[in-house]
Structure 1
């Protein structure tokens, strides 16, 4: 039976990827092993290694669609600093990416950026995130760059700090987007 016909291989691959990204985010990239991912999923270690040779492979397998979207968002904001309406649209789109299917990868990359900085598989993703953050800045000075960094971090925090922040995921996302807007549109 083909892999696509029975769906098992594809489902296993997606389960491994989702679990690994969640564990990288909660435990840290450096402190998580693929063996632990296998244990969490109650599958054999060879099954994990059949789908992914390394943790970097897990990350790289997730980049396909999100890299062009991040590049497009940043490009729409050039030349910098972009007017507020363009930065606002880009912020909304980035918030939607975090809430969507790419959220786990984006959150994982930002939370683990220091651990991933030297990893070839993560370099392009981190570059696109940094480019977008710079392009979101309301000004090119340190204040503007800090506001952009805090705005992006606020959106990420809403996804990762539910227990500390309280409320529902939707309430946290709404509050984070409102705060990010305030940071990026200083009066």
Structure 2
């Protein structure tokens, strides 16, 4: 296969992944079909199915890229509870993941957490996100666990609810990071 054909295949695969993740986030994982994704991209269903056999395949292909980074973040917080500077650094790194190439997947996973909980392929990603939330908390009590989860959810909300929150993406991300830091800055 020529490089040009190989590049087109990769480009189509990435376009499908990006569009599907965006639709899963805005419409819901359960309510989005791959046929709708193909229609949005103006490609045939067989072309889409050539790249991904199922919605779960779309998610799985994305997980493998972010799982090592999530595992590294969680490991950097061990033993928990980690000191504030390590929790702050991990939170900042997670915010960078959301603002970067993994943002669509992380937002999709959090927004569709209930729907994805039953998918075997999603179990590892959700496990890593839960472990990170627990490790980010300023303590291993209920308050600490809630704060860790809220901190991550705050960053996700800034990315997923732009129309409701207003401002620019940068303003929302900065405000969410400041609030998430406040939630975690309990000594």
Please classify the TM superposition score into its range, dividing by the shorter chain length.
over 0.9
Deviation of the 1:8 alpha carbon: 1.4
- What corresponds to 1:42 in structure 2? 42
Structure 1 residue 182 corresponds to structure 2 residue 161 = no
Pairs within 5 Å for 1:8-157:
8-157=8-157
> Distance in 1 between the 2:117 and 2:26 partners?
18
Summarize deviations over 1:65-120 as a string: whole Å, max 9, x none: 21000000001101111100000000000000000000000000011011000101
- What corresponds to 2:4 in structure 1? 5
TM-score (norm 2): 0.97
Q: Hey, which bits of structure 1, 4+ residues long, moved more than 4 A? A: none
Deviation of the 1:46 alpha carbon: 0.6
> Distance in 2 between the 1:81 and 1:137 partners?
7
1:43 counterpart SS class: coil
Unaligned runs of 5+ in 2: none
Unaligned runs of 5+ in 1: none
> Distance in 2 between the 1:162 and 1:5 partners?
37
> Distance in 1 between the 2:145 and 2:127 partners?
15
Aligned residues: 186
> Distance in 2 between the 1:126 and 1:120 partners?
10
CA-based RMSD of the aligned residues comes to 0.9
Deviation of the 1:37 alpha carbon: 0.1
